[in-house]
């Protein structure tokens, strides 16, 4: 018995359409509410996540295939989860710490029900906001997706202006249709052990965004530091990785300690 390739492709396209539709119908209103009434919206994050996925996996006859598909695939397609996480990420830097902690707990509720390998392959690689992704890494290090998946964006390129034209806009932000995670790409570009474009990227990047990137990097490096020796070692490590122009930001951001408390029982 042969495969009907056209029918398979048609089915896949319909599935992708259903993911996009679910994200628009369920997640876009949440994104707006997070801006207008964050306290109310934060309480809704996990419920919206589930409603959107249920909608995405329900066919035209009303049959919900979510349980079966997620069991086979390992978890949900990234369209809905990434839309939820990035809706949270848009407001996350501007929330007070109690609000951040509550929102982070809701995001973890979505992730903790899935195998960590699937999370760091299909969930966290799509999170754009540095402060959200770094807080996730601090309380769930197994969810960290790593930094090498985006090297194809600058592989075999020797001129940063070429990279800049392809992946950045005139405001120094990454193009959303090219870059999956702004934080991961920014961190990768800054690191000397990954590329040679750190200073050029730091100069071209949107200053406000670059500051959030630095906050995230510093948070991940020092959130678990318990001794002066660990702090000294962490500073040396970051100075060895990051462009010299950013070294002066390390200590002030460390002293701010604007990161999640990993000892908080809320995240156990």
Question: What confidence tens digit (pLDDT) does each residue in 153-203 have?
Answer: 999 899 999 999 999 999 999 999 999 999 999 999 999 999 999 999 999
Question: Would you say residue 12 has pLDDT above 80?
Answer: no
Question: Would you say residue 123 has pLDDT above 60?
Answer: yes
Taking all residues of the chain, what is their mean pLDDT, rounded to a whole number? 93
Yes or no: say if 125 and 179 are a contact pair by the CB < 8 Å rule: no
Provide the pLDDT for residue 62.
86
Tokens of 147: 């930094």
Strand partners, 174: 168
Residue whose tokens read 């295939």: 65
CA distances from 194 to 178, 220, 234 (A): 19, 18, 18
Q: What is the pTM of this model?
A: 0.92
With a CB cutoff of 8 Å and minimum separation 6, the contacts of 74 are 114, 115, 117, 118, 122
Tokens of 264: 């908080």
Cα-based angle 168, 170, 149 (whole degrees, multiple of 5)? 10
Provide the pLDDT for residue 7.
43
Provide the pLDDT for residue 116.
95
Q: How confident is the model at residue 11 (pLDDT cuts 50, 70, 90)?
A: very low
Coil/strand/helix, residue 263: coil
With a CB cutoff of 8 Å and minimum separation 6, the contacts of 248 are none
Q: How confident is the model at residue 68 (pLDDT cuts 50, 70, 90)?
A: confident
Provide the pLDDT for residue 96.
98
With a CB cutoff of 8 Å and minimum separation 6, the contacts of 250 are 214, 218, 235, 238, 239, 242
- Stated length of the chain: 268
Between these two residues, 204 and 7, which has the higher pLDDT value? 204
Provide the pLDDT for residue 148.
86
Alpha-carbon distance 234 to 81, whole Å? 33
What is the rounded average pLDDT of the residues 125-140? 98
- Alpha carbon distance, N-terminus to C-terminus of the chain: 51
Alpha-carbon distance 243 to 248, whole Å? 10
Tokens of 205: 């990047």
Alpha-carbon distance 124 to 127, whole Å? 5
Yes or no: say if 59 and 65 are a contact pair by the CB < 8 Å rule: yes
Residue whose tokens read 């932000």: 173
Provide the pLDDT for residue 15.
53
DSSP state, residue 23: I
Question: Would you say residue 212 has pLDDT above 80?
Answer: yes
Q: How confident is the model at residue 81 (pLDDT cuts 50, 70, 90)?
A: very high
The radius of gyration of the chain from alpha carbons, rounded to an integer in Å, stands at 20
Q: How confident is the model at residue 48 (pLDDT cuts 50, 70, 90)?
A: very high
Q: Burial code of 114-128, b = ≥16 C-beta within 10 A, e = fewer?
A: bebebbbbbbbbbbb
H, E, C per residue of 208-232? HHHHHHHHHHHHHHHCCCCCHHHHH
Yes or no: say if 168 and 203 are a contact pair by the CB < 8 Å rule: no
Question: Would you say residue 2 has pLDDT above 80?
Answer: no
Provide the pLDDT for residue 162.
96
What is the rounded average pLDDT of the residues 198-221? 98
Alpha-carbon distance 222 to 267, whole Å? 18
Q: What is the pLDDT of residues 222-252, one digit of tens each?
A: 999 999 999 999 999 999 999 999 999 999 9
Q: How confident is the model at residue 63 (pLDDT cuts 50, 70, 90)?
A: confident
């Amino acid at each position: 018995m042969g495969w009907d390739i056209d029918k398979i492709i048609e089915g896949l396209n319909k599935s992708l359409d259903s993911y996009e539709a679910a994200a628009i119908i369920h997640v876009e209103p949440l994104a707006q509410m997070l801006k207008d009434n964050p306290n109310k919206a934060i309480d809704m994050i996990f419920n919206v996540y589930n409603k959107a996925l249920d909608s995405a996996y329900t066919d035209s006859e009303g049959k919900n295939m979510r349980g079966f598909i997620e069991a086979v695939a390992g978890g949900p397609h990234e369209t809905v989860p990434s839309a939820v996480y990035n809706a949270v990420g848009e407001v996350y830097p501007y929330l007070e710490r109690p609000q951040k902690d509550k929102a982070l707990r809701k995001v973890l509720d979505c992730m903790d029900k899935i195998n960590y390998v699937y999370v760091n392959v299909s969930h966290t690689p799509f999170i754009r906001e540095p402060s959200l992704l770094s807080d996730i890494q601090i309380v769930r290090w197994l969810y960290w997706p790593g930094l090498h998946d985006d090297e194809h964006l600058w592989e075999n390129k020797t001129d940063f202006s070429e990279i800049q034209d392809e992946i950045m806009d005139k405001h120094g932000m990454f193009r959303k249709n090219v870059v999956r995670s702004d934080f991961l790409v920014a961190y990768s570009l800054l690191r000397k052990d990954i590329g040679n474009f750190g200073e050029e990227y730091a100069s071209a990047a949107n200053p406000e965004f670059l500051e959030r990137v630095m906050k995230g990097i510093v948070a991940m490096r020092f959130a678990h530091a318990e001794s002066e020796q660990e702090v000294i070692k962490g500073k040396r490590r970051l100075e060895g990785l990051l462009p010299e122009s950013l070294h002066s930001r390390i200590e002030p951001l460390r002293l701010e300690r604007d990161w999640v408390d990993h000892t908080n029982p809320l995240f156990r």
